[in-house]
Structure 1
């Protein structure tokens, strides 16, 4: 099982209505067939970090992750979501798969996706602050 987590803060100019739309879009993405379990909502971590919301999906294996990354629902959702992020923290992700190369394999999948969909890579680059935990 792969568990993928995002924590984020909305841009100041994002309205409450837009925030609700972003969270609904994220819930649609989290409901695709390749996802085993998911939650989208408030971040209950340290308020001093300023990260207000979170997204967590459980994905069975690398094959399911590949399907998830290229699912049309996921691809259609990102352009509706990313423009509203002021800050995005990716991870920490975790897995019960003890393959020492798992992290590198996942990163290679992301790099292939960015090469396949350059507009997606450009979209992700518009988020003012992105970091990996």
Structure 2
């Protein structure tokens, strides 16, 4: 099982209606067949880190992760989500698979997606902060 986490904060001026829509789109992505479990909501890490919300999804294995990353629902959701985010931190992710190459394989899949969808990568890059 690969557990992917994302913490984020909305841009100033984002309305409650827009926030609700972003969270609904995230929940739609989290409900994909490739996701074993998920939760979307408030971040409990405390206000000092600057993140107000979080997304966590469990994905069975690398094959499911690839399906998840390229699912049309996921691909369609990011353009609705990303314009409303001020910042985000990916991870820490974790897995019960002890394969020492797993992190590199997950990163390679992410890099492949960034190369295939450079506009997506360009939207994500300025939002990232150290997790």
CA distance in 1, matches of 2:96, 2:125: 30
The normalised TM-score by structure 2 is 0.96
The normalised TM-score by structure 1 is 0.95
Give the equivalent residue in structure 2 for 1:109.
Answer: 109
Give the equivalent residue in structure 2 for 1:34.
Answer: 34
Give the equivalent residue in structure 1 for 2:129.
Answer: 131
- Residues paired across the two proteins, number: 131
Give the equivalent residue in structure 2 for 1:48.
Answer: 48
How far has the Cα of 1:131 moved from its partner? 2.5
CA distance in 2, matches of 1:33, 1:132: 30
CA distance in 2, matches of 1:98, 1:60: 14
What stretches of structure 1 of length at least 5 have no aligned partner?
none
Within-5 A mapping of 1:65-104: 65-104=65-104
| Runs of 4 or more above 4 Å deviation | none
How far has the Cα of 1:49 moved from its partner? 1.1
For 2:44, what is the secondary structure of its paired residue? coil
Contact 1:83 1:126 in 2 (8 A): no
How far has the Cα of 1:125 moved from its partner? 3.0
Structure-2 change in CA distance of 1:106 and 1:36 (3 Å): same
What stretches of structure 2 of length at least 5 have no aligned partner?
none
CA distance in 2, matches of 1:123, 1:45: 25
Give the equivalent residue in structure 2 for 1:119.
Answer: 119
